[in-house]
Amino acid sequence: MQRVVVIGGGATGSGILRDLAMRGIPAVLVEQGDLVHGTSSRYHGLLHSGGRYAVRDPESARECAAENAILRRIAPFAVEPCGGVFLQLRQDDPAYRAEWLAACRRAGVPVELLDLERLRREEPGISPDAVAAYRVPDASVDGFRLISGNVAAAEALGARTLTYRRVTGLLMDGARVAGVRLQSERTDASEALEADLVINAAGAWTGQIAAMAGIHLDLVADRGVLLVYHGRLTSRVINRLRPPGNGDIFVPAGSVTLLGTTATPVESPDNLEIPADEVASLLRLGAEMLPAAATSRVLRAFAGVRPLFKAKGDGASTRDLPRTYQVIDHAGAHGVEGLVSIIGGKLTTYREMAEKTVDMAAGKLGVTAPCRTAAEPILPPPEPALVRSVQAFVGPAHAAALAERHPAHLTAVVRELSAPKGSEILCECEQVTRGEVIAVARSLGEPSLSDIRRRTRLGMGTCQGAFCGYRTALVLAEAGVADPAAAPGLMLEMQAERWHGVTAALPGPELPGAELTYALYAGLFGGSKR
């Protein structure tokens, strides 16, 4: 039987699962949606150097600087070491520069002054208003790869994961939490999982879980809106050298560039609305750093919700709330045994958050094994022979990408690539093959196209899935992975989800693309729902 149930399949929960497994503690992770369906996939994908927090939140900055170095070492399959720049513009407060440099030095964030003329040659898109630039070790991190890597590593050690299971209540044994009650989001079946300890790592939903034990946590759901641009507007992360605000981070990722973010407190972590004024503010502010951001094609907008915690006396703006974290043993704090919550934090520091949480859990369970998550790579490097066999089907560059995307399932990918038509391209923008899609789909059972998109980047390019989603649903039916009767629903679900993001970014150069999608799907589905 599991000793621990971990609630939440985001970065923190998956990191905790791996840490528990490495210390020999049997555990099950439960997640209400797909892995990473929450905030860990709804952010800019920046592996922070710490520079952003150096002045106002030095503790977070120190944590980021340390964890950034660790993650590059243990998760090379998820990190694109593109580097980053802090850019000061003519209109920014010149005095902030010295303050920032001193704070970075104190926090251990490596900073190096750049030759602006050379930077302009390398990054021709930056504004003529730039007056100074500093290099920092920012990177782009693929939340999905990172989390599925942690889960795969934990599963290899015997841990289990249950996705699409919503926690509907906690099993109580008097004042002790004795497990969780789950309901399947797919079949409506319910089940109970008993455990010696429940770890609440539900991110933005942590408060809702704690409330099931009658505990009130002072959390703030802070919604951030981001834009996804077609193509790479920049080859490295571009930050603005001023106090953190809206629209001051560009992160290149795959074939797109992300611009983030806004910060608006919301009542519910499920509030993923994308207000037009926030989109307009991002466009305006983003263009101050990269003028092309005003006119380049925005593929879509999306929103995620940061789980921040609010200590007494913190200021009113969510920008001022710390990005640090806190591990709470509810036995001491609220008289409820058997429940530990981890609140706050950010993806860059997920590993350290997991370590501190499992330190507390291990203490409560009487386990003395130390944390080893920083010392060992999450996954062994892909076997060269296996990568070579992938190359036979898709070429060297793409083989390396596949090895990074599917470190734990590469054997299955090779098997499906070698099947007839396995190397046929289904998504031209992201070069996703039929073999990759089928291997991923088989590993998931009955996935949605969004589940496949998160694992392969299918549909994340120019057509936003209008053409490749259609093809993929038909191919899944042909391969026997999807029921032919379900194929139309699969393509429509993907388009409905994408439409939400596309329409939020209107009106801009993406408008003809939106009309094309609408024309095609109204045609396929017999018009609107009239």
User: Interface with another protein by CB under 8 A: which residues?
Assistant: 421, 424, 426, 467, 470-471, 473-475, 477-478, 483-485, 487-488, 491-492, 495-496, 499-500, 503, 506-509, 511-512, 514-530
Minimum CB distance to another protein, residue 204 (Å): 22
In the complex with another protein, the residue whose CB is nearer, 375 or 522, is: 522
Minimum CB distance to another protein, residue 508 (Å): 6
* 431 CB neighbour count, 10 Å cutoff: 20
Q: For residue 468, what are the contacts with CB-CB under 8 A and spacing of at least 6?
A: 426, 427, 428, 429, 432, 458, 459
Summary count for the chain: helices (H), strands (E): 17, 23
In the complex with another protein, the residue whose CB is nearer, 86 or 521, is: 521
Minimum CB distance to another protein, residue 126 (Å): 22
In the complex with another protein, the residue whose CB is nearer, 446 or 483, is: 483
Tokens for 484, please give them: 């032919």
C-alpha pair distances (Å), 189 with each of 16, 172, 202, 428, 434: 27, 20, 21, 39, 33
Q: For residue 328, what are the contacts with CB-CB under 8 A and spacing of at least 6?
A: 217, 340, 341, 342, 343
Give the DSSP per-residue string, 231-300: S-S-SSEEEESSSS-TT-EEEEETTEEEEE---EEES-TT-----HHHHHHHHHHHHHHSGGGGTSPEEE
Minimum CB distance to another protein, residue 500 (Å): 7
C-alpha pair distances (Å), 318 with each of 38, 259, 324: 19, 19, 13
Q: For residue 363, what are the contacts with CB-CB under 8 A and spacing of at least 6?
A: none
Q: Report, in this order, helix, strand and coil percent for the chain, each rounded to 5.
A: 40, 20, 35
Alpha carbons 247 and 226: distance in angstroms, whole number: 8
Minimum CB distance to another protein, residue 260 (Å): 20
In the complex with another protein, the residue whose CB is nearer, 157 or 511, is: 511
Tokens for 485, please give them: 């009767």
Minimum CB distance to another protein, residue 450 (Å): 14
Q: Is the peptide bond before 507 cis (omega within 30 degrees of 0)?
A: yes
In the complex with another protein, the residue whose CB is nearer, 100 or 521, is: 521
Tokens for 487, please give them: 């194929």
In the complex with another protein, the residue whose CB is nearer, 118 or 284, is: 284
Minimum CB distance to another protein, residue 505 (Å): 10
Minimum CB distance to another protein, residue 526 (Å): 4
In the complex with another protein, the residue whose CB is nearer, 136 or 482, is: 482
Alpha carbons 179 and 362: distance in angstroms, whole number: 17
